[in-house]
Amino acid sequence: MSGERNAFQKDYQKNDEKERAKIVNMEKEQTQKWSGNREETQRCGGNKEEKGESIRLEMDSQSKNEEFARVVVAVFMSRMNPTLEEIDDVKTAVSEAVTNAVIHGYQNRDGIVYIEARICGSELTVTVRDQGVGIPDLKKAMEPMYTSDATGERSGMGFSFMEAFMDKLEVESQLGKGTTVRMKKRIGG
């Protein structure tokens, strides 16, 4: 009886180890597919190829998620050895972009805010995208103090802050399809 029990336990342990290995591999594949530390070769400034890393985040369009987004991007960029000022600049810009997506893009309705942060050499690129209402007049929206908020609670400085705290700002928008904000900052330069 004791021999049968030992054989059963060995078979059970082998199957258990196989299942654990299968689960670990599935988790690794999902992490590489959707988020986390994806390493990929990409073109960085000119024709030079460097290894890049990126993370992707999808979150509900709720104001309370703005803080989470800025912390995630700050932690991700920490591998670049940024100064505290650089971290604060990026966190402020991310906050403004996410807030714009929640307040103006989705108009406080349900939706998903998509964030991607990418490191390529010494450059950080953060993209914040929504599938909200879009911006009817992008040129006007980019002007300091312009706001579509009729309540008077918003200052209209979101894009101005993003431009001030990042090295480059690109905004694309289509009515009824949403807005994409792409911000770049050289870290340590």
Structure tokens at 38: 């994806």
Beta-carbon-side half-sphere exposure of residue 134 (alpha carbons within 13 Å):
9
Catalytic residue among 38, 50, 53, 154: 154
Tell how many helices (H) and how many strands (E) occur in the chain: 5, 6
Q: Which of 116, 90, 114, 91 is nearest to 102 (CA)?
A: 114
User: Is 38 known to be catalytic?
Assistant: no
User: What are the phi and psi torsion angles at 113 (to 5°)?
Assistant: -105, 125
User: Is 154 known to be catalytic?
Assistant: yes
* Residue 131 amino acid letter: Q
Tell me how far the alpha carbon of residue 21 is from its chain's centroid: 30
Catalytic residue among 96, 118, 123, 129: 96
Catalytic residue among 65, 66, 86, 100: 100
Structure tokens at 44: 């960085």
Residues annotated catalytic, as ranges: 96, 100, 154
